[in-house]
Structure 1
Amino acid sequence: MSDIFFKIDHSRTADEVIAQIESLILEGVLRSGDRLPGERELALKFDVSRPILRNALKELEARGLLISRHGDGTHVADVTGQIFSRPVMDLIISHSKAVADYLEYRREIEGLAAEYAARRVTSDDIVLLDRIMERMEAAHRNPDFEDEAKIDVEFHHAVGECAHNIVLMHTLRACYRLLSEGVAENRLLIFDHSGGRDALLDQHQAIHRAVIRRDPAAARKAAMDHIAYIEKSMTEAERSGEWQRIARLKLRQHGEPKLMPPAESADR
């Protein structure tokens, strides 16, 4: 964290400090919840006095970009994900039509993000993507469902960041709030399908390969195919669940077949 801040070479004012921290937040280097270094260390990094640093941090807090927690230092505020309020997020997750619309949106926007990522990926981006993929494959081998689900979200975040488009990156981060909420449930449904878990890994690997090979068309197709597979699997799971629900209602309505009473003996 401390290596992302640089010495201010000019007037050494609070405005200079503010501009640098704002840029780091805007570019996605500093994320919601990240803790800034302590005041002494940060002042040394910027090469400014502590009063100047305090004024800068106070202004950034007033703008809603930073938040101070008593006894826990200064953190980046929750600056992403405000497109959907908590009640709207709950509604989207719990209604199948909204989930379908969400996946349709993701299919298009992730295709675009993967295409841009393949065009703009840097050597450092590739190192990051390689590390995430190695962790995903390790979690898959274990198997570690919870860890694999978290890495799933992290992978999609990373591809979005490799696109190097500020608006696209923050839009995706807001979108992935829903993914974080629903990814476990989605995976459970897909895992019920034969080969579903392996298919998801294959799809992530295909996106990874296309991006690091800098193949925009293949990256876009791999990302869109991935979401299309999720859409198809979710639809099939929903239909299967509906069939099961109807069968259960019929059983409750009509009950078990009644056995005919044994015929009375003719000798009686």
Structure 2
Amino acid sequence: MNEITQQTRPLQDLSSHVLARLEAMLDAPAWHGGGRLPPEAELARQFGVSRPVLRKALVKMREAGRIVSRRGSANFVQPRADVVPATTDIQSLSIQTVFDMKRCMRFRQVVECAAAEDAARLCDPEAIRGIEEAHRRMLTLPRGEGVLEADFAFHMAVAQAARNPYFTFALGTMRNQIKLTMEFTRKLQERPADQVAPRVVEEHSRVLEAIKAGDPALARDVMNFHMRQSVIRLLGEESG
């Protein structure tokens, strides 16, 4: 028993040391927005330890919610959003983990499905032109221009088409959290910031057409599908 303890203690101590160094590294501003960690072999060399020692530290980091591992891919640092716009009246919210992102997406799902439904019920021509313009912007995005703002603009246009200021207020106060979730999803998929995902464009198109058709039930359904697919893309799962 004592012999086993003597053999395992150095490994535990070394793993704790690596864990402390990893935590210090991820506290640096460069990692605040998240990102992909170097390969395990490279990190092990950097810290001067074996891969088994490094993996013990990485397990602790995952349990603490600091990193997430995507199946068949690498380890990704989870971004942090500790502040929401100062113009809101709500208490500051923080996104620390993928679980937080899923909760944010769930709230968006409730709000945006209702907004799409009301937008289709009103079927306001001027508001629909705003949605069409936002959709066109994603289709004709200039090379090098980030897609995040164009994507968010589409969802805001749908919210505005509902003619209910609470929808736009809710999305506006979540802007930082939504942006962080979108950025993290793109990093997981290793997609350039200016690359428009065809699946997203197609889903947006279905939302637009349902609203133009004045079909509230269909608009809710297609927006619900879009939001569920967004969660699937975040988790790196295959849609069934």
> TM-score, with normalisation over the residues of structure 1?
0.50
The more displaced of 164-173 and 98-107 is 164-173
Change (3 A) 1:109 1:164: same
Q: SS at 1:214's partner residue?
A: coil
Q: Does structure 1 conserve the Cα–Cα contact (< 8 Å) formed by 2:159 and 2:168? A: yes
Aligned: 1:83 with 2:82: no
- Structure 2 residue corresponding to 1:135, chosen from 122, 137, 143: 137
For 1:233, the equivalent position in structure 2 comes to 233
Distance 2:86 2:121 in 1: 27
Moved over 4 A (4+): 142-145
Answer with 1 or 2: which has the greater Rg. 1
CA RMSD across the alignment = 2.5
TM-superposed deviation, 1:207: 0.9
Change (3 A) 1:189 1:209: farther
For 1:106, the equivalent position in structure 2 comes to 108
Query: Structure 1: where are the runs of 5+ without partners?
Result: 1-77, 238-268
Query: Structure 2: where are the runs of 5+ without partners?
Result: 1-84
Distance 1:189 1:213 in 2: 35
Give the residue type in structure 1 aligned to 2:206: A
Q: Does structure 1 conserve the Cα–Cα contact (< 8 Å) formed by 2:101 and 2:181? A: no
Cα-to-partner distance string for 1:105-128 (whole Å, 9 max, x where unaligned): 111211111001111131111221
Distance 1:182 1:127 in 2: 27
For 2:177, the equivalent position in structure 1 comes to 178
Q: Does structure 2 conserve the Cα–Cα contact (< 8 Å) formed by 1:118 and 1:216? A: yes
**Larger RCO, structure (CA 8 Å, separation 6 or more):** 2
> TM-score, with normalisation over the residues of structure 2?
0.56
Q: Does structure 2 conserve the Cα–Cα contact (< 8 Å) formed by 1:107 and 1:227? A: yes
Percent identity between the aligned chains?
22
Give the residue type in structure 2 aligned to 1:155: F
Cα-to-partner distance string for 1:154-192 (whole Å, 9 max, x where unaligned): 111110011111223312222334213432222333465
